Structure 1
């Protein structure tokens, strides 16, 4: 199998699958991506989508590889929908041990969902944060995005994040609106 010079790790089980040295129940393959069923699926139709090139996690991901993975993910999600008629679908990526990443090779899980399936609710019950906390967190993320964009001019970033001064102008409107539940 030609991986076009893609870097691989000999001790990575997903690199072994991508190269064809290890078997898997493959459902899709392109020049850059392979998708297969996990050994212990969460639900029927649960599928993993990986880049063939070894990329440890989301924080090492490049745009070209992510585009290939996401294009395949869209196609495969629709195939799972047509094959199993689920009530919904989770698209899951875990980066780092704290997020339950168990294989150090970027992958997304497509998990078909049905009402009352064994997966249950993925999000804990939490209280919404107050406007001050939300504004501070949004500001921290926006500043970090701007710093990353300024540092890495090779990546196409067609939109910039709002500045703190933009937030101040819209703060009364933001306080008037109810917090949005981002869990769904």
Structure 2
């Protein structure tokens, strides 16, 4: 990691989103920038108006995110969601944040997708119509997560 010359952000060499933060990516359609976040259109949007929001500091995933940065990111995501809604007039909206390759994260710089949705868009469903988990499986994972949530409160 290095400290970027233009904004003082912590950036990672070779990270395409760090290049956008540093204004080194010439084809970027930036829509918003402040001292902590940058928002821009992806090169291949899922729908028109699809916007990515990233922290200016390089954070690879949600597990590396501190609470202050998370708060700022959430606040800007909410504000930009309203802007996208006013600009595009969608029928709905997805907010998507993926972590890890298996969860479809392809750029390992934390980012939030704001995706306006229409019944005619090509994105389709993001959830399976049904699952086949047993009640025992659901109870076991419920107990494990409840136990871990109890530890979070104590931290």
TM-score (norm 1): 0.76
Q: 2:72 & 2:6 partners in 1: Cα distance?
A: 17
Q: How many residues align?
A: 150
Instruction: Find the partner of 1:55 among 50, 55, 59.
Output: 59
Aligned to 1:72: 76
Aligned positions of 1:121-160 closer than 5 A: 121-127=125-131, 129-150=133-154, 153=155
Q: Which runs of 4+ in 1 moved over 3 A?
A: 127-132, 147-150
Q: 1:145 & 1:11 partners in 2: Cα distance?
A: 36
Q: 1:98 & 1:86 partners in 2: Cα distance?
A: 29
Residue 44 (structure 2) pairs with residue 40 (structure 1) = yes
Aligned positions of 1:73-152 closer than 5 A: 73-127=77-131, 129-150=133-154
Aligned alpha-carbon RMSD (Å): 1.7
TM-score (norm 2): 0.89
Greater RCO (CA < 8 Å, at least 6 residues apart): 2
Instruction: Return the index of the structure with the highest Cα Rg.
Output: 1
1:59 Cα deviation after fit = 1.2
Structure 2 gaps, min length 5: none
